[in-house]
Structure 1
Amino acid sequence: MNRPLTSLTLLALLAAPAHAAPPPTVPADLHLGGPAFRALAADSYARAGLKGTFEDWLTTAYARQGVKLEGQATLGAALEARRAHLKGLKGAAHDQLALDTAAWAHRFVKASIPRFSLERGYEFAATLQSGERQCLLQSTIIAALLQRAGLDAGLVMVWKSQTGQESNLGHVTSVLRLPGGDVQVDASEPTPLARHQGLLARVDGAWRFVTPAFQGDRMTAYARADGGGRVPSAGLGFLSLAYLRSQYDYYRAERTVGGVLGTGTGRSTPQGLKTSETLLRRALSEEPRNALAASVLGTTLRKEGQNEAARTQYRAAATLYAAQGHTPAGMQANLKWADTTGRFPDLPAPILALLTRSAH
């Protein structure tokens, strides 16, 4: 029987202490019913003032479905039955059932949480309040379902889409590991398996930008974006719990009303920017190597008029990106601004803008 988390356990999982050293990069154990998954969901529910648990909501959503996994009436029983079924198979039969399980999880999430929302969908609470999801939340749920079924699954960041379009780590997807290679399971797509062309995950003990090599839908190897070599699929590690906690707080900061993106108001406000700053600092206390959070903190400080702090923060973020093997175009532009304003701090803004466009 699954036991509820004590308040002490929740605090241990969700507190954001200052780390003497960066947190470990061990892939997150997110299995449905486990303490990490429960803590992430409970934090979201607490922020929204909701009672109950996300697992109860998910179990109810499963009960409403017409087609049952392994013919089981409850979600927990279905996943345990699928785990036992998978354990009894080997080779191609095992891999096919694993892929079928991933396809089921993809359908289940899309049917249970029908709307996609960048503004609210990162919160577990949004599923209950508005039936909304976003890439981080949906990928966490898919990984939790697959792990509970006994499969090796986790999350990675995406910096290059299926069409090769680059972003500043603008997407998250779940990944299922199979003996013949990894597959991306992405509920943002109409079909279960995706082929995003650039990922960020753990390689050689650190977070690295990598480019997967595909055979069909399977990623059989990864090339480090910094030219540091090629690693087999088994050499890629999924995001850690610390990184995921950091990323949830990053999205809260990004989508704060009146915050760094001006969400809800069409413009940034002093109060919204301060909230974004607080959440971004929390995200970096949870995972100091979250380069995206470090970069956007620089932008937040810049919008607050803290130009010297913004320049320092942009340079720190650029150091993280360089260490991880790739610097997105937006970060290059921010660093260019930081270097130019640092050399000519007293020039009027229009002149600085001209210098920023022409510098280097």
Structure 2
Amino acid sequence: MRRMPQHFSRRQVLKGLLGGAALWATGRAQRPLFPQYPYRSAAFGRFLEDSYALIPAPKPFRSWLEAAYQAHYHEPLEEALDHRRTRIETTRNPRERVVLEEATAVWLHRTVKALIPRFSLERGFEFSNAVRFGERQCLLQSVLIAGLLQEAGLEAGVVMVWRNPEGKESNLGHAVVLLRGSDGQDRLVDASDPTPFARHPGLYLWDRSAHDYRFVEAHFSAEGVTHGYTRLADGKPLPLDLAQPLDVAFLRSQFDYYRGERAPGGFIGPSTPEGLEASARFLERAMARQPRNPLAVYGLGYVYRKQGRLEPARKQFRMAYQLYLAQGYVPPGPQEAQRWAGA
């Protein structure tokens, strides 16, 4: 993989800052809109419906969360969100507005960790399991925080991580919140960390100019905000106004990927025929929901291979390799799968 530039020029940084100020001045309605699924919306409700259709819980998720919030903070969640939204929208000083936006992210980071205290890779991706066991996982916590931030009137969404701050690379192994401030710069909110704001240098997001998902490198200021990205596919800068979080179809696909990955007896760990069949069903639905999710395409090939369905497995691996390649980065697992498929 070629070495990418680590920083933008001072001129590019200044252009980004001025662009951010212009975005604030023209008002939220004229800024590029992120994928929308605010907490109280029907779009957010579809995440809940997908989960409850598989694993019922004793209470609806929103009712449970709002009761837990009331007990913890002694005020209704709805009032707290509306109050924050009003304060942000009526603040005209740009710096004060940014401070309020960051404080809202800190509040929700703390809130989600307090109300859903346990982290679980095995079950924490189901909203129903948050109610049943108080468990969360990176995708669930990120979708929830992003939905609450949107409800408070902020531009936020979810992106995947392929390289963490320690330099460890993964095959889209983590999810975080991307919050775009009214200053035109991005903050990453990660409820898997003790502190709210993270500096993950390798991200996976939507590139509006390419009309596709892209692996990118993020460039951080000394204060920890992101002022630009570099595409791995061609080494060129990706301006912030062309970078957006992942859409609802991708997120629903990714929830199904985790269901397939963690199915009892599925393709992670010791497998059973019944478990592999369950993995296949979830991953096939993940592909149907978003065919350009490379992790779902690759995972389904892995399932088919374990089932002994070698020709369908080869087809999946080749498709996955081409997706990763087009989007800018091929992790070691898909590289090895491509070699096997070619052989």
Residue 119 (str. 1) matches residue 122 (str. 2):
yes
Gaps of 5+ in 1: 1-25, 341-360
Amino acid at match of 1:131: G
Matched with 2:295 is 292
**Which consecutive segments of 4 or more residues in structure 1 shift more than 6 A?**
none
Q: 1:79 to 1:106 in 2, by over 3 A?
A: same
Deviations 1:145-192 (A, max 9, x none): 110100000000111111111100001111110124100000000000
Gaps of 5+ in 2: 1-32
Deviations 1:102-148 (A, max 9, x none): 00000000000110000000000111111100000000110011101
In the TM superposition, what is the alpha-carbon distance from 1:49 to its structure 2 partner? Answer: 2.4
Q: TM-score, normalised by structure 1?
A: 0.83
Matched with 1:77 is 79
Residue 131 (str. 1) matches residue 98 (str. 2):
no
Q: 3-state DSSP class of the match of 2:186?
A: strand
Residue 185 (str. 1) matches residue 192 (str. 2):
no
Equivalences for 1:43-58 in 2 at 5 Å? 43-58=50-65
Amino acid at match of 1:250: Y
Q: For the residues of structure 1 that align with 2:272 and 2:34, how far apart are their CA atoms?
A: 37
Equivalences for 1:164-183 in 2 at 5 Å? 164-178=167-181, 179-183=183-187
CA contact (8 A) 1:120 1:132 kept: yes
Amino acid at match of 1:214: F
Matched with 2:228 is 221
Residue 210 (str. 1) matches residue 223 (str. 2):
no
In the TM superposition, what is the alpha-carbon distance from 1:260 to its structure 2 partner? Answer: 0.7
CA contact (8 A) 2:159 2:204 kept: yes
In the TM superposition, what is the alpha-carbon distance from 1:338 to its structure 2 partner? Answer: 1.5
CA contact (8 A) 1:45 1:51 kept: no
Q: For the residues of structure 2 that align with 1:49 and 1:93, how far apart are their CA atoms?
A: 43
Q: 3-state DSSP class of the match of 2:244?
A: coil
Amino acid at match of 1:287: Q
Matched with 1:6 is none
CA contact (8 A) 1:155 1:173 kept: yes
Q: Aligned residues, how many?
A: 306
Matched with 2:308 is 305
Report which of the two structures shows the higher radius of gyration computed on alpha carbons.
1
Matched with 1:5 is none
CA contact (8 A) 2:233 2:328 kept: yes
Q: What percentage of residue pairs aligned between the two structures are identical?
A: 46
In the TM superposition, what is the alpha-carbon distance from 1:50 to its structure 2 partner? Answer: 2.7
Which residue of the other structure, out of 252, 255, 260, is the alignment partner of 1:248?
A: 255
Deviations 1:206-258 (A, max 9, x none): 10000011112111000001125102222211111100110111100000000
RMSD: 1.2
Amino acid at match of 2:300: L
